Amino acid sequence: MVEPTVLKPPRRFMAIRRAWRRVGGWRAFALATGAVFGAPILVAVASWLFPDHEVWNHLAATLLPEVLRNTFILIFGVGSAVLVIGVGLAWLTAVCEFPGRKVFDWALMLPLAVPTYVLAFVFVGLFEYAGPVQTALRDAFGPEIWFPAIRSAPGVVLVMALVLYPYVYMLARAAFVAQGRAPLEAARVQGLSPSAAFFRVALPMARPAIAAGTALALMETLADFGAVSIFNFQTFTTAIYRAWYGYQSLEAAAQLSAILLLIVFSGLWLERRARGRARFDQRNHDRVERIQLRGWKRWGATGAAGTVLFFGFLLPAAQLAVWAWGQADTLGPGYLNLIRNTLTLGGIAAVATVAVALLLAYGRRVQSDTITQKAVAVSTLGYAMPGSVLAVGIMLSFTWIDHSLAWLIAPWGGLGTTFLAGSVIALILAYMIRFMAVAYGAVDSSLERIRPVLRDAARSLGAREREVIRRVYIPMLRPGILTGILLVGVDVMKEMPATLLLRPFGWDTLALRIFELTVEGHWERAAVPAVTLVVVGLIPVIFLVRRSSR
């Protein structure tokens, strides 16, 4: 009897399989993700190897000095403002007792629902020379009355601070609450006044949380494009847009992106170095005996919190509602297409980002070696990169890939040179890189609550890795997965720079319609999509408020 011949895999395939086993599947996935997500950084840095001398010399002589000056004005101004507002309000609501404290405790987070470019055009529409505020003042007090110019450095700093201070407020408030009453009581026993106890005890203990919140606010400041465009305030993001579309030089845009990345990463390095290895044990869950404010102080606290809430949320929400009511007849098929595009991009990007984040978090737990951890860290680095920088890096990378594909298939014809560049794939990839840290944080925090013994038990029963993920982890991680999808989806809907630079033809969104209308000065017409984005933005804010209360 002749035995059947068993076909063996080719030697090359066996070698690849052995190499795959040596590297490890999860480590290889983390390395591949880190390589793809880190490519825009390398592309932006490598652009200095091929400078566009003519365009760059023009930018360096005319635009770069103003951009550098304005960028450092924003860093210093917004950083100082969010520190004062966020820390001050956090201390008042966490430790002090004054009229309205319970409402302000959660309501002071509401400005997070308002994108910076929405608050910017509301302030410009209200407070510019031809706006209703200055017009009413001139009618009441005469044409010579002085009013500060809203389109100025203080104006843009004020707008950004009113939107971004909740980053500092949330983290600082949580730190003050976690300190408990013991440190303050010990300080009072030593003879310190409440203000001295704050500056010498509570504030130093909350420094890591305050520094983290300030870093988040400054990263959002450097990444902003819409607000600074409305204020005609030249920064790196507007310079990148001008180099790309105005001078038709993607290389010059990449070199400006590299400078912006250098500023961002230098700030992150300085923040971590200043924090050092300081650790503060704040696990005290004692209920704080609040400081009862008396006299003018209690009403001063109410007035300060109310003023910030009024200008940061109540005033823009009311003005948007008034403008939108007058523009309700503009709703039509075009507006419905904007909503459909916004929801489609947000949904696809959110699901894809959370899926990759789940695999990264699971792989880091299964194969927790140094290489895997570093690869995961690179994959989640995108939150520190502005959307304009990602757009430049992705466009350069995809353009090179398109040209390579066109050269390979030239003898047969076919794809052409714009298969990837300017496609929805490029835009979705930019979203994934930009918000991977948000999705990873939501999934990983839920994954930490699952005991590793469950995976070991499932594997011992013969379940494969994908079955363990599908049948054990995903059902238990459902709250974290839904949270990640929600947070990423809303962030994608509000994202402007990456969408503006990478969107394919016919893929306009609500954020882009706001930008187009505000550039032309049509504040009332921009109110309808702005109201939609504010309402959508309230969803994650409500989630954060509920989590903070717990």
Q: Mean pLDDT across the stretch 50-54?
A: 71
Per-residue pLDDT, 190 = 67
Q: Mean pLDDT across the stretch 66-74?
A: 90
Per-residue pLDDT, 456 = 66
- Kindly indicate the confidence band of residue 513, based on its pLDDT and cuts at 50, 70 and 90: confident
- Kindly indicate the confidence band of residue 401, based on its pLDDT and cuts at 50, 70 and 90: confident
- Kindly indicate the confidence band of residue 307, based on its pLDDT and cuts at 50, 70 and 90: very high
Pull the structure tokens for residue 205: 């203990």
Q: Which stretch of 396-400, 436-440, 496-500 has the lowest confidence by average pLDDT?
A: 396-400
389 contacts 44 by C-beta, under 8 angstroms = yes
Task: Calculate the alpha carbon distances from 32 to 21, 37, 371, 420 in Å.
Answer: 15, 9, 12, 19
Please give the DSSP secondary-structure letter assigned to residue 326: H
276: left (phi over 0), alpha (psi -120 to 50) or beta: left
437 contacts 380 by C-beta, under 8 angstroms = yes
Domain annotation for the chain: domains and CATH numbers: 328-519 (1.10.3720.10)
Q: Quote the percentage of the chain above a pLDDT of 90.
A: 9
- Beta strand 291-292 with 96-97 is parallel
Can you give the three-state secondary structure of 210-247, one letter per residue?
HHHHHHHHHHHHHHCCHHHHHCCCCCHHHHHHHHHHHC
Per-residue pLDDT, 278 = 53
Q: Which stretch of 54-68, 91-105, 232-246 has the lowest confidence by average pLDDT?
A: 54-68
pLDDT value at 426 more than 70: yes
Residue closest to 390 by CA, chosen among 427, 441, 341: 427
pLDDT value at 280 more than 60: no
Per-residue pLDDT, 73 = 92
The torsion angles phi and psi of 97, rounded to 5 degrees, stand at -120, 125
Task: Calculate the alpha carbon distances from 133 to 126, 308, 339, 543 in Å.
Answer: 6, 19, 32, 35
Cα 29 from Cα 27, distance rounded (Å): 5
The torsion angles phi and psi of 63, rounded to 5 degrees, stand at -105, -35
Q: Mean pLDDT across the stretch 71-82?
A: 92
Per-residue pLDDT, 287 = 56
What DSSP letter does each residue of 278-295 carry, written as one string? Answer: --------PPP--EE--T
Per-residue pLDDT, 23 = 52
Cα 441 from Cα 331, distance rounded (Å): 38
* pTM of the full structure: 0.82
Q: Mean pLDDT across the stretch 1-11?
A: 52
Q: Which stretch of 50-64, 142-156, 227-241, 453-467 has the lowest confidence by average pLDDT?
A: 453-467
Q: Which stretch of 149-153, 301-305, 449-453 has the lowest confidence by average pLDDT?
A: 449-453
Cα 438 from Cα 487, distance rounded (Å): 7
pLDDT value at 445 more than 80: no
Can you give the three-state secondary structure of 446-467, one letter per residue?
HHCCCCCHHHHHHHHCCCCHHH
Q: Mean pLDDT across the stretch 398-411?
A: 70
pLDDT value at 9 more than 90: no
pLDDT value at 392 more than 70: yes
- The per-residue pLDDT of the chain, averaged, comes to 79
Per-residue pLDDT, 308 = 93
pLDDT value at 1 more than 50: no
Per-residue pLDDT, 417 = 53
| Alpha helices (runs of H) in 51-63, residue ranges in sequence order | 53-62
Rg, Å, the chain Cα set: 26
pLDDT value at 358 more than 80: yes
Q: Mean pLDDT across the stretch 44-49?
A: 77
pLDDT value at 196 more than 90: no
Pull the structure tokens for residue 109: 């987070």
Per-residue pLDDT, 281 = 46
Spell out a b/e string for 367-394, using b for 16 or more CB atoms within 10 Å of the CB, else e. Answer: beeeebeebbebbbbbbbbbbbbbbbbb
Q: Mean pLDDT across the stretch 59-87?
A: 88
Most confident stretch, 182-186, 196-200, 291-295, 496-500: 496-500
100: left (phi over 0), alpha (psi -120 to 50) or beta: left
Termini Cα distance of the chain: 75
pLDDT digits (tens, 9 = 90+) for 208-236: 888 888 888 888 888 888 888 888 888 88
Cα 533 from Cα 550, distance rounded (Å): 27
Q: Higher-confidence residue: 334 or 240?
A: 240
- Kindly indicate the confidence band of residue 508, based on its pLDDT and cuts at 50, 70 and 90: confident
Q: Quote the percentage of the chain above a pLDDT of 70.
A: 81
Q: Higher-confidence residue: 465 or 264?
A: 264
pLDDT digits (tens, 9 = 90+) for 83-119: 999 999 998 888 888 888 888 888 898 888 888 989 9
